[in-house]
Structure 1
Amino acid sequence: MRKRSLLFLLCLICPLTWGDGRSAGQLSEIISRSQLMCASAMVYFNPAERTPDPRGLNATYEHLNMMETYMVQLGQPEPLVQPLRAMKEVFDTLDRLPRAKRERYPELIQQLLGHQRQLRRAASTAYASAGPNPAAADLWAQSQALATLLLDYQVRLYPLPQKGGLTLTPAQAKELDLTIEQRFEALMARHVEHAEVLSKARASYLFVRPQLQQVASSGSAGSGGPEFYLNRASIDLDELAVAVPTPSP
């Protein structure tokens, strides 16, 4: 918590120039964390759970707080600020809602997902023009991919009013799975000095992979869940990307 607070203060003191190469990491992490936030929110604000695990709420808070921090770094760009503000408003409504009214959770989560898609589109457009560090780009892409899979998993299980367009098609899921596996191999060959972190992230993915595929094919889940594993792996990859030096021109 102390490290997070220090990071926030540094962000306030040293905002990044909107659109320069240094902003790419923050934009990429916004793409990932917006998905992770929604996935965590669906775990905690599940109408079927009478006593949900508070770790789901803590994770949702953390993702939201970090995205707000990055908005400060980026200079508060309106195309990103507006949907993030809307996500926060929905989250605040969910958080204030008495558990006895949990039947309202699905409609509010549906709104949260709509705002997240808007934020993701805006962040993706900005990221494409931000000039990301080529050495870190694959790490960011892998973080985003794992976050996408986790969100897809939670959407399939959650009792949303409408799921049309919110889940991957079978072809998309198969392609993303293959891309993730191939990218892990490339990353481990390219960043041998970070083999421990990459091996851990890959092991986490392979551990939950059967469950992801089971839900994608049948819509039902086995015991346990991929929330912790993919959440941690995505964040670890983002943190590793920050440590990768920018190649000399």
Structure 2
Amino acid sequence: MRRNVLAYLFALLALSAQADSLSVRQLQALDSHSGLLCASALLYFDPREQAPDPRLVTAVFHHLTSLETDVLQLGQPPELVQPLAAMRRLFEQLDGLPRSDSRRYPELIGSLLEQRQQLREAADRRLAQSGMAEPFGEQSRTLANLLLDYQLRHYPLTQKDRWLLPVARLSELDGEVEQRFEQLQSQYPGQLQALTKVRSSYRFVRPQLQQDGGAGSGGAEFYLSRAVLDLDELALVSTAPTP
């Protein structure tokens, strides 16, 4: 009888740990998807562009849908629902404007970034409470935020410094990304080929991420967005790390 009770308790603990791990991955994905959404929006809703790539607005909508799924799976807490609903409204406003009114884009983009910041802070609080970190998710959200920072640096928006990463922090993050790739490739040998591909994508656009001035790049968008989504998929299929 006692053995049965102990087995039942251990099973409950295992299920609880799995649920906590899943929640952490979803919170990390929430941060990644919101970063990708804003990065794509910065490229498409650029007042300097007369004929932006229509695939970018499709990407924004896709990331918005992913965010709504993330929040639904997390139980729709108000602190996540409210900024996400505001982001959807802002996207609809942006998408509804004709290019002749593109001068209004930066103001709405600023509001979008503000709501994204609120969403991110709420997710960060929940992650801090969990005391857990999933390495694939951490790498995913770091790459997404590096992409967003890059696109924002090149976007014609005043008073954007509060959302930009300090230059010194960019260098630190680059080191952290490389170190985390080393750890992931060592601990998850079964995913070595996929991780090598993702790492190559990052290294390909790495020089661009350090540039300042000019216009943002769809190339950086393509490679890093794919890298982020690949890492999210790896987080779901990877087993426990090799000691």
SS of equivalent residue, structure 2 residue 122: helix
- The 8 Å contact of residues 21 and 130 in structure 1, kept in 2 or not, is answered as no
Partner residue of 1:7?
A: none
Seen in structure 2, the aligned counterparts of structure 1 residues 140 and 157 have a Cα distance that, compared at 3 Å, is same
Q: What is aligned with 1:118?
A: 118
1:6-155 alignment, distance < 5 Å: 20-130=20-130, 132=132, 137-155=134-152
Give the counterpart of 2:186 among 189, 200, 222: 189
Contact 1:152/1:167 (<8 A) preserved: yes
Deviation at 1:161, TM superposition (A): 2.4
State the distance in 2 between where 1:21 and 1:233 align.
21
Shift of 1:22: 2.3
Query: 2:7 maps to which residue?
Result: none
Tell me the CA shift for residue 52 of structure 1: 0.7
Q: TM-score, normalised by structure 2?
A: 0.87
Show the counterpart of 2:234. Answer: 240
Contact 2:155 2:215 in 1 (8 A): no
Further displaced range: 99-108 or 160-169:
160-169
Structure 1 Cα separation of the partners of residues 145 and 22 of structure 2: 24
The amino acid of 1:227's aligned partner reads E
Corresponding position of 1:231: 225
Alpha carbons 1:50, 1:99 under 8 Å: kept: yes
Amino acid at match of 2:238: V
TM-score (norm 1): 0.85
Whether the aligned pair in 2 keeps the contact of 1:140 and 1:237 (CA below 8 Å) is: yes
Distance in 1 (CA, whole Å) between partners of 2:183 and 2:93 is 43
Instruction: Tell me, in whole angstroms, the C-alpha distance in 2 between the residues paired with 1:97 and 1:222.
Output: 21
Q: CA deviation at 1:222?
A: 8.7
Shift of the alpha carbon at 1:225?
Answer: 3.0
Aligned position for 2:208: 211
Instruction: Flag the structure with larger Rg.
Output: 2
Alpha carbons of 1:223 and 1:27: their partners in 2 closer, same or farther (altered >3 Å)? closer
Relative to structure 1, the CA distance from residue 104 to residue 222 in structure 2 (aligned partners, 3 Å threshold; closer, same or farther) is closer
Question: Which deviations, in whole Å up to 9, do the C-alpha atoms of 1:195-219 show, x marking residues without a partner?
Answer: 111011100010001111123xxx2
Amino acid at match of 1:238: D
For residues 155 and 210 of structure 2, what CA distance do their matches in structure 1 show?
16
The Cα shift of 1:192 comes to 1.1
Question: For each residue in 1:221-242, what CA deviation from the matched residue of structure 2 results, as whole angstroms up to 9, or x when unmatched?
Answer: 6976300100010110011001
Work out the percentage of aligned pairs sharing the same amino acid. Answer: 52
Superposition RMSD in Å = 1.9
CA distance in 2, matches of 1:186, 1:51: 42
Q: 1:176 — aligned with what?
A: 173
Q: Structure 2 unaligned segments of length 5 or more: list them.
A: 1-18
Alpha-carbon displacement from aligned partner over 1:27-65 (angstroms, at most 9, x marks no partner) = 110011111100000111111111110111111011100
Runs of 4+ aligned residues of structure 1 deviating over 4 Å after TM superposition are 221-224
